[in-house]
């Protein structure tokens, strides 16, 4: 009589059970992980800020003395923003010129409508903020004296307060740059580089750095969730 062992079949069955359990656990962990979001998902915020400082390669630094904005969350992960800068001017060879978007009051730069999304700024996911990208076209177009300017691209800003999971009526959004290079240019510190560029009088685009801080205020309590 031939004695046929069933041990290999039992071994394969055990391996299959282990694989299924492993995949199930992986799926459970993946489904329990959550992306950054805003609560409530229809949060509305208004913003105001102090001076914006701009630095572009080969250009003098110029600034806007104030800003105001409206932010509307959508689906809890981001939304749209409208941003206007005031008191904008450039000083070149001792001559001060106002910077103005067509149709706006003198010294006002109007941004295109922006999409914003919540993102982590470092691989360790200890810092977070917004990625701002125009819905279409350039970020802004304006003139300073006889020269015309166009901004294009996207930019990342850090939410320095409140911390994740903390309810607050206010938030602080900060954009920082070293020279013409934004301090944060990649989501989670890797991959695609996001930055702003500026072209003058239709010329070649050069890097544009922005330094500012915007205070966001909401009527209802808002919470940023990890």
**CA nearest neighbour of 172 among 39, 78, 48, 44:** 48
CB 84 within 8 A of CB 68: yes
SS3 29: helix
Q: Are residues 95 and 196 in the same domain?
A: yes
Confidence of residue 174 (pLDDT cuts 50, 70, 90): very high
- Mean pLDDT value of segment 165-191: 96
Let me know if 79 is exposed, middle or buried by CB neighbors in 10 A (0-12, 13-18, 19+): buried
Q: What is the pLDDT of residue 62?
A: 86
Residues 28 and 106 in one domain: no
Both 48 and 155 in one domain: the answer is yes
Q: Are residue 3 and residue 94 in the same domain, yes or no?
A: no
Same-domain check for residues 9 and 66:
no
Q: Are residues 168 and 57 in the same domain?
A: yes
113/4 same-domain check: no
Query: Based on the domain organization, do 84 and 20 belong to the same domain?
Result: no
Does residue 77 sit in the same domain as residue 19?
A: no
Tens-place pLDDT, residues 119-159: 999 999 999 999 999 999 999 999 999 999 999 999 999 99
- 85 lies in which domain range? 37-225
* 174 vs 161: CA distance, rounded Å: 10
Residue 31: pLDDT band with limits 50, 70, 90: very low
Same domain? 139 vs 158: yes
Number of structural domains found in the chain:
2
User: Can you give the pLDDT at residue 35?
Assistant: 84
The answer on 51 and 21 residing in a single domain is: no
**What is the C-alpha to C-alpha distance for residues 133 and 16, in angstroms, rounded to an integer?**
47
12 or 194, higher pLDDT: 194
**pLDDT score of 16:** 43
* Dihedral sign computed on CA atoms, order 134, 199, 55, 62: negative
Q: What is the pTM of this model?
A: 0.82
Whether the per-residue pLDDT at 30 is higher than 80: the answer is no
Closest CA to 130 of 221, 31, 57, 45: 45
122 and 205: one domain?
A: yes
């Amino acid at each position: 009589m031939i004695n046929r062992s069933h041990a290999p079949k039992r071994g394969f069955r055990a391996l299959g059970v282990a694989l299924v359990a492993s995949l199930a656990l992986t799926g459970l962990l993946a489904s329990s992980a959550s992306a950054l979001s805003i609560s409530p998902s229809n949060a509305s915020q208004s913003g105001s800020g102090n001076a914006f400082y701009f630095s572009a390669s080969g250009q003098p630094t110029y600034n806007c003395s104030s800003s105001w904005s409206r932010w509307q969350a959508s689906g809890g992960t981001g939304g749209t923003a409208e941003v206007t800068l005031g008191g904008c001017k450039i000083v070149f060879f001792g001559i001060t010129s106002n910077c103005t978007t067509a149709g706006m009051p003198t010294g006002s730069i109007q941004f295109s409508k922006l999409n914003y999304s919540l993102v982590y700024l470092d691989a360790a996911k200890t810092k977070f903020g917004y990625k701002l990208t125009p819905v279409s076209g350039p970020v802004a177009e304006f003139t300073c004296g006889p020269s015309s300017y166009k901004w294009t691209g996207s930019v990342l800003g850090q939410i320095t307060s409140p911390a994740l999971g903390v309810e607050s009526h206010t938030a602080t959004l900060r954009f920082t740059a070293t020279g013409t290079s934004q301090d944060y240019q990649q989501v989670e510190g890797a991959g695609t580089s996001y930055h702003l560029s500026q072209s003058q009088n239709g010329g070649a685009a050069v890097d544009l750095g922005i330094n500012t801080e915007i205070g966001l205020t909401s009527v209802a309590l808002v919470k940023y969730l990890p």
